[in-house]
Structure 1
Amino acid sequence: MENMKREESAITLEEIKSKNGDNDEAAIENRVATYHFGLKRYRAQENGDCGYDAAVLPKWFNEEMFERAKILARKHFMALMFTHLCGLYLLVFMKPIFNVLASTGQSKNISCLFRRYFRTLKHVKIWYEGNVWDFHDDASKSIAMVRAMHKQVAHKCNKNNSREEVFISQRDMVYTQFAFIGLLILYPRRFGFTLNEYDLKCIVHFWACIGYLLGIDDKCNLFASENLLEIRSICDRILDDMKCYASEEQSEEMKRMADGIIIGVNTFVPCLQRVSKLSLSLND
């Protein structure tokens, strides 16, 4: 029954998009503004895992695009890993997410940061190479492990939380989605990508599926649309959100964690020492 409701919701969203016209600038701007307002105002109060069943394919799943993304990931592997790390570096300066990272004890020193981000990239590599839809495949097991870890940390952090905002919320999950490929969407050439529009859509679709499997609700999923103009506009607003957090709420602990990421991960990604400079240059 839950799956049936979810499919109805997805169809309704597509009908709305169809009526508005996907390439109509006014319609796009209206959808972007509505999405962004909801993300900031309401999604921080919603649990980051909406409970979707990983055994059920999303209504909008496109196998051809998904498999094409995996081919592209093999071809552009190092560039993608670098892009992921740049975005994850920016996440440190977002207070709600920093608080969760700090609470786990897995970011307290350079050695811990090395292990945390090495594991993260190892998971992502498995997702690109395996079959996340096959429960017997390592990629599916990896997704399930990450999802379970999110639930465990969220339960621990929210146990004595009296605020309206929850730890590891739908908003936080969307910001994390952005961290992985949002910068690629906004600045493809800066990260060494010369992808055509279809190929970029395929990578976007892949990460929409990863978001779904990690429990991001369709109404929140940053990449569930195939309209790149709309996605770019939302990503641009999210990057502005990140800049605001970084300029207003930086702490010494955040700076130490960010520096620790550069030092720790630089041992297996030597070019990472340029991440902080590149990330800051995006303000230009």
Structure 2
Amino acid sequence: MERCEFRNLEFLMKGAHTSSCGQISEPHNHPRHCDASKLMRGQLFFRKNISSCVFAMLCSLVCGLSVSNLLEPLVFTNASDTPRKSLYRYIQTLVHVIKWHLSDLCDADSPARKSLDKVRKMHDVVAEVMTKQKTDKKVYLSQYDMSLVQSGFVAAIIIHPQDFGIQPNVNDLDDYVYLWRFIGTHLGITDQNNICLNGYLETYTICEQIKNKVLLQALKHPPDDFDFMAKAFTDGLNILHKVRLYTPEAVINFMYDVFGQNRERQSIANELRIMTFKFLVKLKLYVPGFQILMNKLVMLVYNLVTNNYQEKQKQS
């Protein structure tokens, strides 16, 4: 797709009737226009801000469950409808996301590329099974749906970096957008629906439109399973912390503050949680070394999970 027009949300919605399945049959070693050094800079940006990026993705996921197109496949798979199942599912997702930032994406045999291929195939299987079992002729995990999924990983970071403890730098953010252009392509997103195709400015504009016209509208009228699935996710996270640090209400209203939206006052416990999120963000921004410490905690979880998986593989 040639860069011939400034795309917007309406443009992306054209992909609602196009499946994301089977978009890549044989991934290329070096995709067209691949800038290896820019990919590496995007990966470095993530690693330097990994705890902030993971927290932004966590908040985006809780809010994103209010979008029916994104919630329906999760409900269908029954893989995240209890706290423990949800914790397992999303730790595995986190492991995949971190892998995408640790090795050479231009090498088809690297752990990052193998992970991308595996995730794409899992999406394909879910979409195919849903299409076979449902009779409404709807396109599940469509190209438009994948645009929304992609925004869940990048939008909060691109639009509100400082609110998540990231020092804003347009060049760094443009590198990160370029990285997710590559990741999106290898997850089966076409150029038409890859929100990161044309650099930082277009991606920023599209993410703002998704926030205002899709996410905030969905949060006003979430689907029936939203409360149940969001609570399963936050309760699963709390298993890690041994305290009830997260609730859907705390996360959503923290995001309302980030977005500059009016909101209702929450319970004392949830207001304290929101204050805690903001305090941790300030520590990352203004206390030298705190971001590094939090990054190491995230990587500790990643290493524990991957080492445990490798041990099980050896024993089987």
TM range (shorter): 0.7 to 0.9
The alignment status of 1:94 with 2:60, answered yes or no, reads no
Code of the aligned partner of 1:88: L
Match 1:223 to one of 185, 193, 196: 196
1:208 aligns with 181
The higher relative CO (CA closer than 8 Å, separation ≥ 6) is in: 1
Residue-pair matches, total: 254
2:114 aligns with 141
CA distance in 1, matches of 2:46, 2:246: 19
SS at match of 1:78: helix
Q: CA 1:145 to 1:256, structure 2 compared with 1: closer, same or farther past 3 Å?
A: same
1:259 aligns with 231
Code of the aligned partner of 2:32: K
The alignment status of 1:72 with 2:45, answered yes or no, reads yes
The alignment status of 1:233 with 2:209, answered yes or no, reads no
The alignment status of 1:176 with 2:149, answered yes or no, reads yes
With structure 2 as the length reference, what TM-score do the two structures score? Answer: 0.75
Shift >3 Å, 4+ stretches: 160-165, 266-274
Kept after mapping to 2: 8 A contact 1:49/1:214: no
**Residue pairs, 1:178-193, within 5 angstroms:** 178-193=151-166
The alignment status of 1:57 with 2:33, answered yes or no, reads no
2:123 aligns with 150
**Percent identical:** 25
Farther-moved stretch of structure 1 (130-139 vs 142-151): 130-139
CA distance in 1, matches of 2:61, 2:121: 20
2:265 aligns with none
CA distance in 1, matches of 2:223, 2:48: 36
CA distance in 2, matches of 1:182, 1:50: 26
Q: What is the aligned-residue RMSD (CA, Å)?
A: 2.0
Code of the aligned partner of 2:52: A
Residues 175-205 of structure 1 show CA distances to partners (whole Å, capped at 9, x for unaligned) of 0100011011111110111131111101111
CA distance in 1, matches of 2:143, 2:233: 25
CA distance in 1, matches of 2:19, 2:29: 20
1:160 to partner: Cα distance: 4.1
1:36 to partner: Cα distance: 1.7
Match 1:275 to one of 233, 246, 251: 251
Code of the aligned partner of 2:252: S
SS at match of 1:159: helix
Question: Unpaired segments of 5 or more residues in structure 2?
Answer: 262-316
The alignment status of 1:120 with 2:96, answered yes or no, reads no
Code of the aligned partner of 1:249: P
1:247 to partner: Cα distance: 1.4
CA distance in 1, matches of 2:179, 2:83: 31
1:64 to partner: Cα distance: 1.5
Q: CA 1:164 to 1:232, structure 2 compared with 1: closer, same or farther past 3 Å?
A: farther
